Chains A and B, each alone.
Chain A
């Protein structure tokens, strides 16, 4: 897999937030689509959480039917454009492409998908005819990928759909979380607008649904509910000195740089704590914004990192340095963080141990905590009958997205604990069908 990708180059990072998967030209798309074998029961499609008929849309591109290609994509995945840009294709469709078995570069599926859908969005194609309203209505909470996908599927079955969104924009983490060199805010918003024009769901922004009263108002008005509220703020590490103003959570930091002008001044020396994709993104973004020294410090060894190898690669070429087997024990400094005190660790018989007396301080001007996102427990507590699993995720029926309260369905990060946009889209669509089945049976 990795061997066949061109490794990202330093000059790519120079151009701070230049897209890492830029739009293909017609010629590139023609040659790349020519390579696809049109596999039977294609492994790439099997690997796609939304089961896009990849060989079909690639053949449509190759035969000059760009609109048909986009339609094929949107029929399986309402956020086809966003997914083409932000999916970790290396471990999904492209990772499954049969070309890997011959040590030949797999088909550039993500970029072809982006190529076809981009053209459809720009030319405002209409792929869906919304049927007459069936008299029933559904409230979707959260306008992230899961909520949008569920709303589209419900509209396609004739339901009136209102989306309630706490923020002033749709797209959830696709807007305020995903790295800007994967997708720009304009691109993310453009696709949601493309969908809204076709499906005609309503979105109420700046409307957080939280209290018992909020729930009561909604329950009086709607026949069913979808919870697509994602995850909460960054988790605490629970070490001394954590409360200092320049020791912040990764998702909050990323949201800041994605929603404020990019000229936000950045600290010179940054330490990012964590070993997942969010840690890589935060570090990479700091380096791209001009921080001189960016360290990702992880408690365990490099191979144990949860981040995909290509995300670590991307951070490294931006100038990020990885340090391993270092556990933070204190954020040091008077009124603000001036450094992180670490202790070295080792794994003995599968158990992570701190090495006594090995502690030392690395100085810095900013600490970013990327050790996970908390669950949104307050809303859950106010919905009767909802059950959560031991990790705080909403429990649902995997085939329908239905929660323990039969009128409530859920999907996306709130259910899977934090996966990818494509999983949220798949789960939102599935729940749309689940709601349709549930409400049809009630008649």
Chain B
């Protein structure tokens, strides 16, 4: 049986699933309830000088029947007094000594940092997370992403914290920056024990097109917020991978961004995360999703023969390469399973209008299954992604696997197109239909 326990930079947790700092970790009550249902750890809602929040605060993207595929907030850090939070923190640790309680912090001066670090240590926190990520409200006050976007300042503040920290320190990074590895390296240089990413992405989630204001609306106005939820997962995973692969980062990573099930968690772990954090999904479905997450993760580990989480942290990293290292001789072509095809012809119009005119319709209109024209198919995957039937369009390997040639090798051998009209162009074999023949005008 798989063992889900982790030791993340010295923070022990019964499983890698932590609640990320946010509304679900606002109070001791919520955190205890979550632990009771099976969550391994919780990062407390960011503590500091309490704020005053606005109403309303959230906006969301719905997509064709799926609600909240993207989520946006303009909320700030905790609006509760520090003394109340600390008392509840102590209580949580008393009832759940083996679960991970991490205090997320955001203050301004060195003196404030020293004091609040000591306070949460005294309350029994197992670790500290420095919130250098919030992209709205706090950054204008010189905190949050204002720090995360300046590696030098991030490094300085992290050093202040390390001066007094007796428990592991995690630096939480903002994605609102062009190279995520810069702040990650700064955190490492300052002696942080780990990093976590991503915080929310600066965003406008939507516009009320009748009243000419963006969401969420506060009276007649609004402001930019932070974007999260399933829609941001690909961005988060790329940033996690960039940090994990960077030789000057090499400290544990807690992965965050759009995680809502065990499958998402496994993906983050394979890209180098050794714990994962969840906020939006817990806000959407409640704490109960943890049962599916732990059972799915166990199932996955058992079926792959992984006894512990460590055994597969970063296992996909060696296979994520630079583009110029990919094999140009590898070739796949689409193939349609006629028995599965339902005749929607979405693959046809997708390839015809949006790709490479490599799918033909039958002349006999009663036969609705399209045909692949392998000459034109470049193996882009589009049709197989769009086909509504599971495994109906598959990509079949056509090269014999004996040849290997990368862009790098071709560059080194001076075998790449260099002029505008170069005959080495990759698309020369593609037959493009004659527009006059196709629709009778030009």
Q: Could you show 9 A-B contacts with beta carbons less than 8 Å apart?
A: A35-B65, A39-B344, A39-B345, A40-B344, A41-B361, A43-B368, A62-B64, A98-B343, A102-B342
Q: Is the CB of B389 within 8 A of A102?
A: yes
Q: A31-B65, A37-B388 are in contact. Are A98 and B342 (CB under 8 A)?
A: yes
Q: Which of A30, A40, A62, A99 gathers most chain B CB within 10 Å?
A: A40
Q: Which of B342, B361, B365, B368 gathers most chain A CB within 10 Å?
A: B342
Residue among B65, B342, B365 making CB contact with A34, cutoff 8 Å: B65
Residues of B bordering A, CB below 8 Å:
64-66, 342-346, 348-349, 361, 365, 368, 388-389
Report B-chain residues with C-beta under 8 Å of the C-beta of A31: 65
Q: Is the CB of B344 within 8 A of A37?
A: yes
Shortest distance in angstroms between A41's beta carbon and chain B's nearest beta carbon?
Answer: 6
Q: Is the CB of B346 within 8 A of A38?
A: yes
A38→B347 CA distance, assembly (Å) = 12
Does chain B have a CB within 8 A of A212? no
Q: Is the CB of A30 within 8 A of B346?
A: no
Report B-chain residues with C-beta under 8 Å of the C-beta of A39: 343-346
A258→B347 CA distance, assembly (Å) = 49
Does chain B have a CB within 8 A of A9? no
A102→B391 CA distance, assembly (Å) = 13
Q: Is the interface of A mostly helix, strand, loop or mixed?
A: helix
Q: Is the CB of B348 within 8 A of A34?
A: no
Q: Is the CB of A41 within 8 A of B345?
A: yes
Shortest distance in angstroms between A169's beta carbon and chain B's nearest beta carbon?
Answer: 41
Report B-chain residues with C-beta under 8 Å of the C-beta of A62: 64
Given contacts A38-B346, A39-B344, A98-B343, 15 further A-B contacts (CB under 8 A): A30-B65, A31-B65, A34-B66, A35-B65, A37-B344, A39-B343, A39-B346, A40-B344, A40-B346, A40-B348, A41-B361, A43-B343, A98-B342, A98-B388, A99-B342
Report A-chain residues with C-beta under 8 Å of the C-beta of B388: 37, 98, 102
Q: Is the interface of B mostly helix, strand, loop or mixed?
A: loop
Q: Is the CB of A101 within 8 A of B65?
A: no
Q: A101-B342, A101-B343, A102-B389 are in contact. Are A40 and B65 (CB under 8 A)?
A: no
A306→B214 CA distance, assembly (Å) = 58
Which A-chain residue is minimally distant from B209 (CB atoms)? Answer: A64
Which B-chain residue is minimally distant from A38 (CB atoms)? Answer: B346
Which B-chain residue is minimally distant from A36 (CB atoms)? Answer: B64
Shortest distance in angstroms between B67's beta carbon and chain A's nearest beta carbon?
Answer: 10
Which A-chain residue is minimally distant from B365 (CB atoms)? Answer: A41
Report A-chain residues with C-beta under 8 Å of the C-beta of B345: 39-41
A39→B368 CA distance, assembly (Å) = 11
Which B-chain residue is minimally distant from A55 (CB atoms)? Answer: B344
A95→B66 CA distance, assembly (Å) = 26
A34→B69 CA distance, assembly (Å) = 14
Shortest distance in angstroms between B440's beta carbon and chain A's nearest beta carbon?
Answer: 18
Shortest distance in angstroms between B272's beta carbon and chain A's nearest beta carbon?
Answer: 36
Report A-chain residues with C-beta under 8 Å of the C-beta of B361: 41
Mask, A72-114, CB within 8 Å of B = 1, is: 0000000000000000000000000011011000000000000
Which A-chain residue is minimally distant from B345 (CB atoms)? Answer: A40
Which A-chain residue is minimally distant from B350 (CB atoms)? Answer: A40
A442→B54 CA distance, assembly (Å) = 73
A31→B368 CA distance, assembly (Å) = 27
Report A-chain residues with C-beta under 8 Å of the C-beta of B365: 41
Report A-chain residues with C-beta under 8 Å of the C-beta of B349: 40
Shortest distance in angstroms between B37's beta carbon and chain A's nearest beta carbon?
Answer: 29
Report B-chain residues with C-beta under 8 Å of the C-beta of A41: 345, 361, 365
A31→B65 CA distance, assembly (Å) = 5
Mask, A38-53, CB within 8 Å of B = 1, is: 1111010000000000
Shortest distance in angstroms between B26's beta carbon and chain A's nearest beta carbon?
Answer: 30
Q: Is the CB of B343 within 8 A of A34?
A: no
Shortest distance in angstroms between A83's beta carbon and chain B's nearest beta carbon?
Answer: 24
Shortest distance in angstroms between B348's beta carbon and chain A's nearest beta carbon?
Answer: 6
A98→B65 CA distance, assembly (Å) = 19
Q: A31-B65, A43-B368 are in contact. Are A37 and B343 (CB under 8 A)?
A: no
Report B-chain residues with C-beta under 8 Å of the C-beta of A38: 346
Which B-chain residue is minimally distant from A99 (CB atoms)? Answer: B342
Which A-chain residue is minimally distant from B64 (CB atoms)? Answer: A34
A33→B66 CA distance, assembly (Å) = 12
Report B-chain residues with C-beta under 8 Å of the C-beta of A40: 344-346, 348-349
Shortest distance in angstroms between A341's beta carbon and chain B's nearest beta carbon?
Answer: 48
A189→B344 CA distance, assembly (Å) = 37
Shortest distance in angstroms between B3's beta carbon and chain A's nearest beta carbon?
Answer: 40
A101→B369 CA distance, assembly (Å) = 12
Report A-chain residues with C-beta under 8 Å of the C-beta of B342: 98-99, 101-102
A62→B65 CA distance, assembly (Å) = 9
In A272-331, which residues have CB < 8 Å from any B CB?
none
Q: Which of B349, B361, B368 gathers most chain A CB within 10 Å?
A: B368
Report A-chain residues with C-beta under 8 Å of the C-beta of B344: 37, 39-40, 98
